[in-house]
Chain A
């Protein structure tokens, strides 16, 4: 009886707390749905990639951390290491001052191939609680967030020991638990419209 009362008390304690958190990205929970246009005007929805592992990369080509990773080819190399039939890489730019043309220019300059989704109003970025560039998410084939955080453990560019995204994607593909499911992302803040 006492136990039952406590269980009720426990439930009451947590009701009204983060029910509203249902539509933000949390590891272990379904990823927020989105539909965005890329730099070429093509529409991408998370639902389109059901059954595939989706890597989301928040980026801002003006951020020194993003520049560093693109020059060191961290993002490109990580992406190339995956089987393109099983893994989709989407770059998202939530910078308020950027548009499709800006994204297209950047893509051309760096010569990479993945789509850059333009999220100028920042709605998708905020639904994922993306706060830094780069900020990385790995979503499994069932649409569940399996990793959120930094690309690697190297905020100062001294040489990474662990590429968290690569480790997470490999684990998901092998049906294993992601060893590090969250990490502190580092970099510039996302320059949201406000």
Chain B
């Protein structure tokens, strides 16, 4: 196979004579070997572009990192192009050939904008000098010297344009240490400072887009507001200067421009292409904040615009649901929410969210997740009520306290992760293998406690007869913690809406909603305490309680089975094996601890030491989960559970809708018990399947078992923070998906599918507006 850049040396550009030839510059800098310097693009014999291959290290160690770059120097008034050249021109292309070195993606410093005198043609690029570079990693096996080669393919323009091709090459010794190049490392640092930050980078300004419409109309103008806040959440107060925004190539959009319109606010004006893009266009580009005086910070912008509709269809297909012109002027909503039909429902107030959270929390008690804890607690209260009546209230308070404190920790974690720039959802911690392992370990330890393998907080003197001790206040609080931990993979009616509201709002709201949720979760025991006489109606204690306790131990172990299965989805069969090994170590460790409780002095210390050693040792060895190992089989389990379904993909959904199929999207996760419950009891029912077949429904599964920013964003767009979520889209009105309840019923699914298919025939359409061709 010919090397892609070698074959260019010839014929097609031969008209320019030596243009395609690689010329080695006689004026090579002393610092660089001749092969690292080249010039080409001759204009009347005069080279307009000189290029040099530069490295930020003079020596590199095996496995080490360096930066490799191409420094382009241009004659006055000549320029080369940025990755999006603009109206004309050609993006500068650098390809690397470096055996033993893995070269990353090219970094582009913030470009200049060039305009023709009449303003008709706008392009983006660099003049004078630019360093285009990439991070690189040297192979662990590297020895001797490395050769790094770069092929540069650029278009160099002043008034006329000249293509330039350079092939540059340098060698680099591999040594025991990486040694920075004192001359070039600072140049790389300077170039790095010009490169726009990734939108989710640490300390990067946050950019949010609110569009004044739910759709873009082909060939029509659109407007919106871009809001910039600093990393710590304050509106960006500094100025901007010059051409501070350079758009990327945006499919479906012809022009976009930004104008400052206030503190940290920019008015967006754009025009959609005359041909509707198949995918929802995104606003991409780079934004440079700051002035010459204050210094610049550039950040990449990547925000969803809105789905495109063809001209003419707009009035019928998208009767402007959310933003009337009046609203848009006054309020700025995050783009994701603004473009979400779900958000079009009357906006939820904090009060309503709190009520929903409280009720949702109460309903969680009836969900399979929390039920084992509930049963455990009921058992505990039963005996307490009979024997230590006065203590019921403190224990209920401790249990509620445990719940509330854990809820606050969870709220704190949500806020911390969010401040770090990532988005999270309800149950997000179950996307973390180590968390799943920790919860499994706690469950096993708890179960063994119920079996009597050891006693809690019994201070070494505990004997089987003193099990009462295990009902310390601390234990009640611990059960509260466990209730919250187990509750998160569950969702209940109302909960999704409330938590979704909280996640889209400020820190205070998150805390308030989580508190309400915790109070709801603690409700049954509060009722038990607060309603006089109710406690006394519980059954009398007896031998059945000991058996009941051990039985509940098995219920907890059963929950562990589910977590092991979840681990399979996260980290594959290997991960499951590691988790089981660790759980056995947990069993061994707690058993050793139980043994120690019957011993005295030194022997006791040794046994406890052994228990700790077992746990720590097993943990160090076993708790290494490789998420890449997740078996494809497990990942596809949900998909397979519903025959003929496919993995969720926005483009595939659009395609199915365009083909006239109603669409059902199941947002689910392996660890989400409510999801699994719905899938097993409703979605796989025969009559539901029949309805899907009859209406030719395209069934999509969005699997959120592991982190997936696209799915998180989609959930947020519908005001939800977690799974399950069920969307039913009609080809007749693709912009108005119906969001089903968290707890499905066969009837609700069948009817929703029927409604979605209602547009199929104009005769059936009734009062519905169907914009399909």
Give the interface of A toward B (CB within 8 A): 3, 5-7, 9-10, 12-14, 17-18, 21, 26-29, 62-65, 67-68, 71-72, 126, 131-132, 155-158, 181-182, 184-192, 194
Q: How far is the CA of A65 from the CA of B90 in the complex (A)?
A: 10
B contact residues around A67 at 8 Å (CB):
13, 15-16
Assembly CA distance A63 to B88 (angstroms): 12
Distance (Å) between the CB of B225 and the closest chain A CB?
15
Judge whether B157 and A188 touch: CB under 8 Å. Answer: yes
- Contacts A9-B324, A194-B118 given; does A189 touch B89 at CB 8 Å: yes
CB neighbours (8 Å) of B123 from chain A are: 189
Beta-carbon nearest neighbor of A60 in chain B: B160
B249 within 8 A of A: yes
Q: Are A7's CB and B161's CB within 8 A? A: no
Which B residues are CB-close (under 8 A) to A6? 319-321, 324
Q: Are A189 and B13 in contact (CB under 8 A)?
A: no
Residues 528-583 (chain B) with a chain A CB within 8 angstroms: none
Complex Cα spacing A48 to B16, Å? 38
CA distance A185 to B89 in the complex (A): 9
Q: Is the CB of A182 within 8 A of B274?
A: yes
* Between-chain CB contacts (< 8 Å), 8 pairs: A17-B220, A27-B275, A28-B275, A64-B13, A71-B15, A189-B116, A190-B121, A194-B116
Q: Which of A3, A12, A14, A27 has a CB less than 8 Å from the CB of B217?
A: A14
Chain A residues, CB < 8 A from B162: 64
Q: Which of A71, A156, A182 is the most central at the interface, judged by chain B CB atoms within 10 Å of its CB? A: A156
Contacts known (A18-B221, A29-B219, A71-B15); A9 close to B325, Cβ less than 8 A: yes
Residue B117 CB within 8 A of the other chain: yes
Within 8 A of A (CB), among B76-93: 85, 87-90, 93
| Chain A residues with CB below 8 A from B67, complex form | none
User: Lowest 9 A-B CB distances belong to which pairs?
Assistant: A189-B88, A194-B118, A17-B221, A26-B274, A194-B117, A132-B88, A131-B87, A188-B161, A181-B275
Are A27 and B274 within 8 A (Cβ)? yes
Q: Which residues of A have CB within 8 Å of B121?
A: 131, 189-190, 192
Nearest-neighbour CB distance to chain A for B275, whole angstroms, equals 4
| Distance A10 CA – B153 CA, assembled complex (angstroms) | 47
Q: Tell me the bound Cα distance from A31 to B15 in angstroms.
A: 35
The distance from the CB of B58 to the nearest CB of chain A, in whole angstroms, is: 33
Residues of B contacting A72 with CB < 8 Å?
Answer: 12
The distance from the CB of B91 to the nearest CB of chain A, in whole angstroms, is: 8
**Besides A9-B320, A182-B275, 11 new A-B residue pairs in contact (Cβ under 8 A), listed by A number:** A6-B321, A7-B320, A9-B324, A9-B325, A13-B325, A21-B271, A64-B155, A71-B12, A158-B4, A182-B273, A189-B88
Nearest CB of B to A3, in Å: 6
Pair A63/B161 contact, Cβ less than 8 Å: yes
A residues less than 8 Å from B621 (CB atoms)? none
Tell me the chain B residues, 271-309 only, with Cβ under 8 Å from chain A. Answer: 271, 273-275
Task: Enumerate chain B residues within 8 angstroms of A191, measured Cβ to Cβ.
Answer: 159-160
- B313 touches A (CB below 8 Å): no
| A68 surroundings in chain B (CB, below 8 A) | 12-13, 15
Beta-carbon contact of B120 and A131 below 8 Å: yes
Enumerate chain B residues within 8 angstroms of A155, measured Cβ to Cβ. Answer: 90
- Per the 8 Å Cβ criterion, residues 49-89 of B in contact with A are 85, 87-89
Interface string of B196-231 (1 = CB under 8 A from A): 000000000000000011000111110000000000
Say which residue of B87, B217, B249 sits within 8 Å of A189 (CB atoms).
B87
A170, chain B: closest CB distance, angstroms: 18
Q: Give 1 or 0 for each of B115-129: 1 = CB within 8 Å of chain A CB.
A: 011101101000000
Which residues of B206-265 have CB atoms within 8 Å of chain A's CB atoms? 212-213, 217-221, 249
- Whether B219 contacts A26 by the Cβ 8 Å rule is yes
- Distance of A62 Cα from B153 Cα, bound (Å): 19
Please tell me if the beta carbons of A192 and B120 are within 8 angstroms of each other in the complex.
yes
B314 is an interface residue with CB less than 8 A from chain A: yes
Instruction: Knowing A10-B314, A14-B217 are in contact, say whether A64-B319 is a contact too (CB < 8 A).
Output: no
A157 B220 Cβ-Cβ under 8 A: no
In the complex formed, the residue of A with least CB distance to B321 is A6
| B residues less than 8 Å from A187 (CB atoms) | 88-90
Cβ–Cβ contact A28 & B274, under 8 A: yes
Residues of B within 8 A of A5 (CB): 324
Closest CB-CB distance, B306 to chain A, in whole Å? Answer: 13
- Does B478 touch A at the CB level, under 8 Å? no
Neighbour of B271 across the interface among A18, A28, A181, A184, CB < 8 A: A18
Cβ of B460 within 8 Å of any chain A Cβ, yes or no, is no
Q: Is B493 close to A, CB under 8 A? A: no
A103 to B697, CA, bound (A): 59
Contact pick for A156, options B93, B220, B273, B274, CB 8 Å: B93
Q: Determine how close the nearest CB of chain B comes to the CB of A153; give it in whole angstroms.
A: 13
Identify which of A7, A9, A190 contacts B88 (C-beta below 8 A): A190
B315 at the interface (CB under 8 A from A): yes
Closest residue on chain B to residue A132 by CB atoms: B88
| B274 closest partner in A (C-beta) | A26
Query: What residues of A have a CB within 8 angstroms of the CB of B120 in the complex?
Result: 126, 131, 192, 194
Interchain CA distance A62-B158 in the complex, whole Å: 13
Contacts of A27 in B (CB 8 A): 273-275
Interface pair A7/B221, CB less than 8 Å apart: no
The residues of A that contact B87 with a CB separation of less than 8 Å are 131-132, 189
Closest partner residue, chain A, to B271 (CB atom): A18
Q: Does B8 contact A (CB under 8 A)?
A: yes
Instruction: Judge if B163 is at the interface, Cβ distance under 8 Å.
Output: yes
Using CB atoms, name the residue of chain A closest to B121.
A189
Cβ-defined contact, B315 with A7, below 8 A: yes
A186 touches B90 (CB 8 A): yes
B15 contacts across to A, CB distance below 8 A: 64, 67-68, 71
Closest approach, in angstroms, between the C-beta of A37 and any C-beta of chain B? Answer: 23
Given contacts A13-B212, A18-B220, A192-B116, A157 and B90 within 8 Å (CB-CB): no
Decide: B320 and A10 in contact? CB cutoff 8 A: yes
Closest to B15 in A: A67
Residue of B nearest to A126 (CB): B120
Q: Is B14 an interface residue (CB 8 A)?
A: yes
Known A126-B120, A194-B117: A71·B153 in contact at CB below 8 Å: no
Tell me if B153 and A156 are in contact (CB < 8 A).
yes
Knowing A182-B273, A191-B159 are in contact, say whether A14-B14 is a contact too (CB < 8 A): no
On chain A, the residues within 8 Å of B221 by CB distance are 14, 17-18
Indicate if the CB atoms of B90 and A156 lie closer than 8 Å.
yes
Query: What chain A residues lie within 8 Å of B321 (beta carbons)?
Result: 6
Instruction: Please give, as numbers and ranges, the residues of chain B lying within 8 Å of A190 by CB-CB distance.
Output: 88, 121
With a cutoff of 8 Å between Cβ atoms, the chain B residues found around residue A131 in the complex are 87-88, 120-121
B224 smallest CB distance to A (angstroms): 12
Instruction: Note all chain A residues with C-beta closer than 8 A to B89.
Output: 186-189
Q: Which residue of B lies closest to A6 (CB)?
A: B320
Question: Are B274 and A64 closer than 8 Å at their CB atoms?
Answer: no
Least Cβ–Cβ distance between B544 and chain A, in angstroms: 62
A14 partner residues in chain B, CB cutoff 8 A = 217, 220-221
Nearest Cβ in chain B — how far from A73, in angstroms? Answer: 11
Cβ < 8 Å to A, chain B residues 149-179: 153, 155, 157, 159-163
Which of chain A's residues have a CB closer than 8 A to the CB of B88? 131-132, 185-190
Q: Which of A158, A182, A192 contacts B118 (CB 8 A)?
A: A192
Chain B residue at minimal CB-CB distance from A13: B325
B14 contact set on A, CB distance < 8 A: 71
A63 — which chain B residues lie within 8 A by C-beta? 160-161
Residues of A within 8 A of B12 (CB): 68, 71-72, 157
Residues of chain B contacted by A28 (CB below 8 angstroms): 218-219, 274-275, 311
A residues near B85, Cβ cutoff 8 Å: 186
Task: Give the CA-CA distance A155 to B91 in the complex, in Å.
Answer: 9
Which residues of chain B are near A7, meaning CB under 8 Å?
A: 315, 319-320
With a CB–CB cut-off of 8 A, which chain B residues contact A189? 87-89, 116, 121, 123, 157, 161
Interface pair B213/A13, CB less than 8 Å apart: yes
Kindly report which residue of chain B lies nearest to residue A29, judged by CB atoms.
Answer: B274
